[in-house]
């Protein structure tokens, strides 16, 4: 919004300083400051309102140290994250950018699913909350919207050599000057993504349908739906200790901001030999708001937590992380970047599967971990909650650095 306002003021009134809003770096810095400020300034008021509404966490007795002390802590704090993302994004991002619009829609959609789940659990005293199939249905719908938008919207393109586009039959949306520094290149609707660790690091999704672009949706849509659903649910499972998911989310958000910046800069993308994605630098603005919102929420969510994010926050965090990765064509990096979320999710799958298998074979179910998700396993081993959280943060930082390294490690 402010970008468009100051562009108008610069063009029509030559307002001094209005040109600053053309720079992504300036708008990203302002966005992160505002999102952080909103969390810190209004956090206490939001927590007080949640407490007055008796929106308190109901804790089941799992035999974990310090568990009962969490009883009654206000939850649904994901609303704080939601507000801290939406307001700065609307103010500082370009609202004519399809990536921004899709991210805003995804943020509200995932938050709405989580909010409905929290509302049923807490306000209506339904311990199961929203039924699992309805959660999945909502996530699948968002995955479908993202996939169809990526396939059909004319502004979602990549820069590729003109000969590659012509030979592969990709739809060319813009021809670039062959005498320019980028050479004989075009903007095309290319169904490709970056692959880490490989020199020719591009995967063409059309190989799954025999180069038939008319059937591309058969491969691309299920993959995007699976990624978004899996990461959203993995984040939900990871949100089990004070500050755990919040800190990991901030680290992942910062990494995605870097990836968005390099992918949206023609010179840097060419140097790194990665896909240049026109207009994707606006994702930096959203990622900056995401970072500020999660860090601001961590102020209140760190041990001992004054508020929990609930499913309102956890489903939203996982969902938008997946959407950003898909938009930046870095979805194959998710197992590395979101490694903690992946391991937490796998620990639950392994635990449940092995328990059912052994119970069917022997009549007595056995477990791999003392408790799942994995962070509860370490709690059962006697680790203090903060030790688990900080060590998981350290691992998340290492995975984030490895993700950045993959840009040149081939």
91 backbone dihedrals φ, ψ, rounded to 5°: -75, -40
**Nearest Cα to Cα of residue 403 among 318, 323, 340, 355:** 340
CB contact at 8 A, 6 and 12: no
- For the stretch 254-290, pLDDT in tens is 999 999 999 999 999 988 888 999 999 999 999 999 9
Hey, where are the domains in the chain? Answer: 27-155+214-405
**Nearest Cα to Cα of residue 252 among 342, 372, 371:** 342
pLDDT higher than threshold 90 for residue 35: yes
pLDDT higher than threshold 60 for residue 181: no
Range 317-344 average pLDDT: 96
- For the stretch 124-157, pLDDT in tens is 766 777 888 999 999 999 999 999 999 999 999 9
CB contact at 8 A, 289 and 234: no
Q: What is the pLDDT of residue 182?
A: 47
How far apart are the C-alpha atoms of 200 and 194, rounded to whole Å? 9
Range 182-197 average pLDDT: 83
* pLDDT band, very low/low/confident/very high, at 180 (cuts 50, 70, 90): very low
Question: Residues of the chain with pLDDT > 90: what percent?
Answer: 65
* pLDDT band, very low/low/confident/very high, at 165 (cuts 50, 70, 90): confident
pLDDT higher than threshold 50 for residue 248: yes
CB contact at 8 A, 119 and 346: no
- On average, the pLDDT of the chain sits at 90
Beta bridge partners of 276: 159
Report cis status (omega within 30 of 0) of the bond before 373.
Answer: yes
pLDDT higher than threshold 80 for residue 71: no
Q: What is the pLDDT of residue 177?
A: 62
Q: What is the pLDDT of residue 55?
A: 65
* pLDDT band, very low/low/confident/very high, at 81 (cuts 50, 70, 90): very high
More confident site: 37 or 4: 37
Q: What is the pLDDT of residue 397?
A: 98
Q: What angle do CA 400, 87, 21 make, to 5 degrees?
A: 80
Q: What is the pLDDT of residue 178?
A: 55
Q: What is the pLDDT of residue 136?
A: 95
How far apart are the C-alpha atoms of 212 and 216, rounded to whole Å? 7
Question: Residues of the chain with pLDDT > 70: what percent?
Answer: 93
Which of 39-43, 319-323, 395-399 is predicted least confidently? 39-43
Q: What is the pLDDT of residue 45?
A: 93
Q: What is the pLDDT of residue 32?
A: 97
Q: What is the pLDDT of residue 163?
A: 83
- For the stretch 360-376, pLDDT in tens is 998 888 999 999 999 99
CB contact at 8 A, 313 and 77: yes
**Nearest Cα to Cα of residue 77 among 336, 366, 365, 305:** 305
């Amino acid at each position: 919004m402010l970008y468009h306002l100051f562009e108008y003021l610069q063009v029509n009134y030559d307002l001094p300083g209005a040109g600053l809003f053309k720079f992504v770096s300036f708008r990203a810095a302002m966005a992160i400051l505002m999102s952080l400020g909103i969390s810190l300034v209004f956090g206490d008021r939001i927590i007080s309102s949640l407490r007055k509404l008796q929106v308190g966490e109901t804790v089941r007795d799992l035999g974990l140290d310090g568990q009962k002390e969490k009883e009654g802590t206000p939850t649904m704090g994901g609303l704080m994250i939601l507000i801290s993302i939406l307001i700065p994004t609307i103010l500082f991002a370009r609202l004519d950018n399809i990536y921004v619009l899709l991210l805003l829609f995804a943020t509200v959609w995932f938050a709405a699913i989580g909010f409905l789940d929290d509302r049923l659990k807490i306000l209506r005293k339904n311990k199961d909350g929203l039924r699992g199939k309805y959660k999945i249905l909502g996530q699948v719908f968002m995955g479908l919207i993202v996939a169809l938008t990526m396939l059909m919207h004319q502004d979602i393109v990549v820069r590729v050599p003109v000969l590659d586009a012509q030979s592969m039959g990709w739809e060319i949306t813009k021809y670039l000057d062959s005498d320019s520094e980028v050479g004989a290149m075009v903007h095309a609707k290319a169904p490709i993504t970056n692959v880490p660790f490989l020199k020719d690091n591009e995967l063409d999704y059309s190989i799954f349908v025999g180069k038939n672009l008319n059937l591309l949706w058969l491969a691309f849509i299920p993959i995007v739906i699976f990624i978004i659903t899996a990461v959203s649910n993995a984040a939900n499972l990871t949100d089990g200790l004070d500050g755990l998911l919040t800190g990991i989310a901030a680290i992942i958000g910062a990494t995605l901001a870097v990836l968005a910046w390099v992918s949206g800069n023609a010179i840097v993308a060419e140097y790194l030999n990665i896909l240049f994605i026109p207009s994707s630098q606006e994702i930096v603005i959203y990622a900056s708001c995401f970072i500020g919102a999660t860090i601001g929420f961590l102020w209140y969510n760190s041990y001992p937590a004054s508020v929990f994010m609930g499913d309102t926050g956890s489903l939203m965090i996982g969902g938008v992380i997946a959407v950003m990765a898909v938009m930046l064509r870095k979805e194959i990096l998710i197992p590395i970047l979101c490694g903690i979320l992946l391991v937490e999710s796998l620990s639950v799958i392994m635990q449940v599967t092995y328990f059912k298998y052994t119970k069917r074979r022997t009549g007595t179910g056995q477990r791999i971990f003392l408790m799942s998700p994995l962070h509860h396993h370490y709690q059962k081993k006697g680790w203090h909650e903060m030790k688990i959280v900080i060590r998981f943060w350290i691992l998340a930082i290492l995975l984030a650095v490895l993700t950045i390294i993959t840009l040149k490690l081939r």
